[in-house]
Amino acid sequence: MRVYDLAHCRAGDKGNTSNISVIAYEATDWAFLRDNLTEGKVLEAFSHLAEGPVTRFELPKLKAFNFVIEKALAGGVTTSLAQDIHGKAHSNIMLAIELPAVGRNEFSNSTLR
């Protein structure tokens, strides 16, 4: 199972920092993501792009998280020669992160998308 199965994402930037929101489809999916989509797991997925650190902010009333990934945009918009200088494609990397499938039914009634 991947993050894609439980949530959608939106990415943005501020300087050399990537900012990615992860919004769960269901409240029970949020609980599963809270336990399994850790700062360490996110940094591992972005290790080819980012130095980190990664900070996760929890927004339970919105069924969402905000991940702030520092040193992730090759210097930022004004200095980077990357094709995706704003890091908009970073949401696709987040959505592709593998999560354990074991125990998911305990948390969620949503259908896989």
* pLDDT per residue rounded down to tens, the chain (113 residues): 999 999 999 988 777 788 899 999 999 999 999 999 999 999 999 888 877 799 999 999 999 999 998 777 655 454 544 545 444 567 888 999 999 986 655 555 555 44
Domain span at residue 42 reads 3-103
The per-residue pLDDT for 101 is: 84
What integer pLDDT is reported at residue 86 of this predicted model? Answer: 44
Q: What is the pLDDT of residue 107?
A: 52
Domain containing 14 — which CATH number? Answer: 3.30.70
Residue 51: predicted pLDDT: 77
Reduce the secondary structure of the chain to three states and give it as a string.
Answer: CEHHHCEEEEEEEECCEEEEEEEECCHHHHHHHHHHCCHHHHHHHCCCCCCCCEEEEEEHHHCEEEEEECCCCCCCCCCCCCCCCCCCCHHHHHHCCECCCCCHHHHCCCCCC
Query: How many domains are contained in the chain?
Result: 1
Per the domain annotation, does 112 fall within a domain? no
